[in-house]
A and B are shown apart, each in its own frame.
Chain A
Amino acid sequence: MPSVAISASRLTKRFGDRVAVDGVDFDVEVGECFGLLGPNGAGKTTTVRMIHAFTPITAGDLVVLGLRVDDEPVAVKRRLGVVPQEENLDPDLTPWENLMVFARYFDIPRAEARRRAADLLEFVGLTSRAASPLDELSGGMKRRLLIARALLNQPELLILDEPTTGLDPQARHLVWQRLRALKAQGVTQVLTTHYMDEAAQLCDRVALMDAGRILRQGRPADLIRAEVGEEVIEIRGDEALHRAAVAALDGKSLRWERAGDTLYCYCADGRELLPALSTLKPAHLLHRPASLEDLFLKVAGRSLQE
């Protein structure tokens, strides 16, 4: 069995003059969960849509499960599951009917489709809702139904475009648990998100995207350690306070950064710095591990680019 599920090189998508995906390179290994991370407009959806043969690629190479997507879209789609960013269930059908109708597109025999639909509804915790009208389902339930639908053909690769955007915390955690269970079953996953904590929860490796480019990729912990450090101290207050804090830390050759009302101090071990800082009595002083968010803000910058 090949160890690479997706191989993209110089992958490019242009919409007229606008470059949505700008020559990106990445590989996704079989069995891993790979995250495309970035703000709205980064090019995540466009990238995954090229992977599932929805959007034709402008340039570059894209091989999915050993097949060139351009040449064999049907063969690729047969082995993929797709959870789209925008919900597109059949509103006239119940969850059960949604699954049974979708199974036909893959030529799954009826008896087998019934078995899988029952198992999948169970897996996403919707068994009791199998016959409910679709408009009685919450956003989280619909998202879980989309996941069940994407699993009908027992895909080797599952693509999830912002699987938890707009969900409440309980619903998010439920989705995360199901995705981790799938990973344990060996389903390769590519997911997009702009939630850095989601990527940290789920992804073995991530690619940070911004404006159509991949800025960094690798294991979240490695990337954070290499670029941000171990820990972060946040000090909120006015400019005078920030200056005092920097003076207090003087000589420790730390990296710091001011953004609005907050001073971020990146360090290996913040405990030794805290006493000096707390004497300044800032309104808000937070000591925490460095996160993907810090990394992202560092490499993509803090300014909003619309």
Chain B
Amino acid sequence: MPHRWPTRRAVRVWERNLTVFRKYSLPSLIGPSIGEPLLYLLGLGFGLGTLVGTVGGLRYVEFVAPGMVMSSTMFAAAYECTYGAYVRMIHQRTYEAIITTPLSLEDVVAGDILWGASKGAFNGTVMLAVVGLFGLAPSPWTLAVPVIIALLAVLFACLSQVVAALAKSFEFFNYYLTLVITPMFLFCGVFFPLESLPRWAQGLARFLPLTYAVEATRALMRGRPSAQALLPILWLVPPTIVAFLLAARLVRRRLIH
């Protein structure tokens, strides 16, 4: 079966989700995706930071800030494209309703991913603004961070949509969040430099996309971005494309018989 590509009509699904979101915006905004990283930033950055002192020449809170921006992006995209997408796809049969209109299932999947990515990007950008207000990102290069936020958001939206397409129940998402998302949060250079890990673990971390996003963001916020720090970001693109194609195919296999 040749792959079907989404069309511009995917934006309609994004708009639908925005309409629903606007009715319930407050609870989901101060929910886990912004609240949690913010607490980590305050608690770890300022609290633990007094014990840690400096890391690589940075105050600890400065060291942690880029990772908080990236992880809030990751968490928000992951929540939306697992729980949110699953509810729409399975519980509410929203996908089935929409594909009786001119939209195709690929449009719906792309629109839902776009939406999850938007939530990730929004949360990441809010965190970025908070970090900026605390004076933790003095470099003007910080203005380029939203590009990384966007790339990371789309990647995790696609990956999470794959998980949603495979999930048999919400339980499945606990595995994903505990075994995939949380390890990234912990071992991708958010809280400590990769160099403090044993060699083999560093090698593993080099496979994780969050690592590159955090490093590039840190470089931008410090104001001396080198090509070596920025270019690895491109490694986020191939897994994004693969995950999108896989998500579209898995959703089709799940809903269309």
Cα A272 to Cα B221 in complex, Å, equals 99
Q: Which of A52, A86, A104 contacts B12, CB < 8 Å?
A: A104
Question: Contacts A15-B257, A92-B20, A104-B16 hold; do A52 and B100 have CB atoms under 8 A apart?
Answer: yes
Which range holds the interface residue count of chain A? 20 to 34
Cα A217 to Cα B257 in complex, Å, equals 27
Chain A residues with CB under 8 A of B23: 92-93
Q: Is the interface of B mostly helix, strand, loop or mixed?
A: loop
Question: A97 near B19 (CB under 8 angstroms)?
Answer: yes
Cα A49 to Cα B19 in complex, Å, equals 28
Question: B102 near A78 (CB under 8 angstroms)?
Answer: yes
Instruction: Decide yes or no whether A106 CB sits under 8 A from chain B.
Output: yes
Instruction: Decide yes or no whether A74 CB sits under 8 A from chain B.
Output: yes
Interface pick from B63-71, B90-98, B147-155: B90-98
Question: A74 near B102 (CB under 8 angstroms)?
Answer: yes
Chain B residues with CB under 8 A of A84: 93, 96-97, 100
Query: Nearest A residue to B255 by beta-carbon distance?
Result: A54
Query: Nearest B residue to A105 by beta-carbon distance?
Result: B101
Contact bitstring B93-114, A, C-beta under 8 A = 1, else 0: 1101111111110000000000
How far apart are B252's CB and chain A's nearest CB, in angstroms? 10
Chain B residues with CB under 8 A of A89: 97
Question: A73 near B104 (CB under 8 angstroms)?
Answer: yes
Question: B101 near A88 (CB under 8 angstroms)?
Answer: no
Contact bitstring B181-200, A, C-beta under 8 A = 1, else 0: 00000000000000000000
Query: Which A residues fall within an 8 A CB radius of B?
Result: 15, 52, 54-56, 73-74, 77-78, 80, 82, 84, 86, 88-93, 97, 101-102, 104-107, 150, 153
The 3 closest A-B pairs by CB, nearest first: A88-B93, A105-B101, A82-B100
List 6 extra interface pairs beyond A91-B92, A101-B16, CB under 8 A.
Answer: A52-B100, A77-B101, A84-B100, A90-B16, A92-B23, A93-B19
